[in-house]
Amino acid sequence: MKLGSTGPEVFPLGLGCMGMSGTYGKTDDAESIRTIQAAIERGVTLIDTGDFYGMGHNEMLVGRAIEGRRDKVQLSVKFGALRGPDGSFNGNDTRPIAVKNFIAYSLKRLGVEVIDIYRPARLDPSVPIEDTIGAIADLVKAGYVRHIGLSEVGVETIRRAHKVHPIVDLQIEYAIGTRGPEAEIFPVLAELGISATLYGVFSRGLLTGSKSTEAGDWRAHQPRFAGENGAKNEDSVRALQRFAHERGMTPGQVALAWVLARQPAFVPVVGAKTRAQLEDVLGALARPLSKDDLAALESVVNISGDRYDPAQMKHLDSERR
């Protein structure tokens, strides 16, 4: 599968590594490395990380995992989010001078000479997107970046960025309970020849019945997991589980198969933290859902609540209408 009209050929699934750096609770570096390597052995080529995941921990982890395997993977790296020593998020910085600073550290932590797809994690409202993309385009010319991507931006920003340099893909959240991009964003991507890498296909574990019980698991306070929304969503999760059981599938396979069926031209990025989780989701490739299956599933799954808390939603360019 090709990412956009100008991007690389990739496996139909990508591996997202954010969860390997403590975002959803405890992790095991050794198991994380084995999971990344198992994914590569199974043919997965797109490995997604961010320089702010674990304040650099995730890039160093990925770097260890791909050592000796660099020619088998495409690295997708997000940058721009500012972190504090206490783990806090302190905005975004995508000034041209910051772009060059961020990539210098990413190259070192990953142990590579070039990043395949480099993208700002969020839109920096204080910096014109043309300036940011122009700076990455300079890195392409210099040989430090192969392709440029975007993340969580809306239609106007996509168009403006694409005029500066070809964009190969937009990374955006998409799942059976997160279908907002279908209305305006996906049609523009098709018009411009841009692909999408779809994260959050399990709605951060909500659709698979995962519970946010560990210290440090930020989902505990997110709208879909807490309060009245959390209680309502449990009904949808149980319905999805019944649907999966009736078809001899796991909930994760069903959630992923739905995305594959609805958006066959795009690439889901799955956040498997263990080899067992990886093997489970890979099983979805051999279990496609029919049109009748899609209709039946959509009739019983209705997810309530925003995907982020109000403060984060306010800063998402992709949610502006």
For 63-96, the pLDDT digits (tens) are 999 999 999 999 999 999 999 998 888 889 999 9
Q: How far is CA 143 from CA 63, 109, 114, 295, in A?
A: 19, 18, 7, 47
The second-level CATH assignment, the architecture, of 14-319 is: Alpha-Beta Barrel (3.20)
pLDDT at residue number 128 = 98
Pairing of strands 89-92, 81-83: antiparallel
pLDDT of 86-129, one tens digit each? Answer: 888 888 999 999 999 999 999 999 999 999 999 999 999 999 99
Distance between CA 27 and CA 199 in Å, rounded? 20
pLDDT at residue number 107 = 98
Confidence of residue 47 (pLDDT cuts 50, 70, 90): very high
pLDDT at residue number 67 = 97
Q: Tell me the average pLDDT across 46-71.
A: 96
Share of the chain above pLDDT 70, in %: 92
Number of residues in the chain: 321
Confidence of residue 222 (pLDDT cuts 50, 70, 90): confident
The number of CA neighbours under 13 Å toward the Cβ of 157 is 25
Given a contact cutoff of 8 angstroms between Cβ atoms, the answer to whether 63 and 109 are in contact is yes
pLDDT at residue number 221 = 63
Distance between CA 250 and CA 283 in Å, rounded? 9
Q: How many CB atoms lie within 10 A of CB 283?
A: 15
Q: How far is CA 214 from CA 94, 95, 210, 224, 238, in A?
A: 33, 36, 11, 17, 22
pTM: 0.91
Q: Tell me the average pLDDT across 186-194.
A: 98
pLDDT at residue number 219 = 59
Distance between CA 150 and CA 168 in Å, rounded? 8
pLDDT of 272-297, one tens digit each? Answer: 999 999 999 999 999 999 999 999 99
Q: Tell me the average pLDDT across 160-166.
A: 98
Distance between CA 163 and CA 30 in Å, rounded? 43
pLDDT at 213 over 60: no
**Tokens standing for residue 228:** 């009245």
Distance between CA 186 and CA 194 in Å, rounded? 9
CA angle 224, 228, 230 (to 5 degrees): 35
Name the DSSP letter for residue 288: P
Residue closest to 27 by CA, chosen among 54, 59, 64: 54
Confidence of residue 210 (pLDDT cuts 50, 70, 90): low
Residue closest to 318 by CA, chosen among 132, 154, 175, 110: 154
Q: What are the helix (H) ranges across 67-217?
A: 96-110, 129-142, 155-164, 185-192
pLDDT at 317 over 70: yes
pLDDT at residue number 229 = 78
197: β partners = 171, 267
Query: Where in the chain are the domains?
Result: 14-319
Token look-up 């009736």 returns 246
75: β partners = 47
The verdict on whether 53 is a catalytic residue reads yes
pLDDT at 145 over 80: yes
pLDDT at residue number 224 = 78
Say which of 24, 53, 174, 199 is annotated catalytic: 53
Q: Distance between alpha carbon 82 and the CA centroid of its chain, in Å?
A: 18
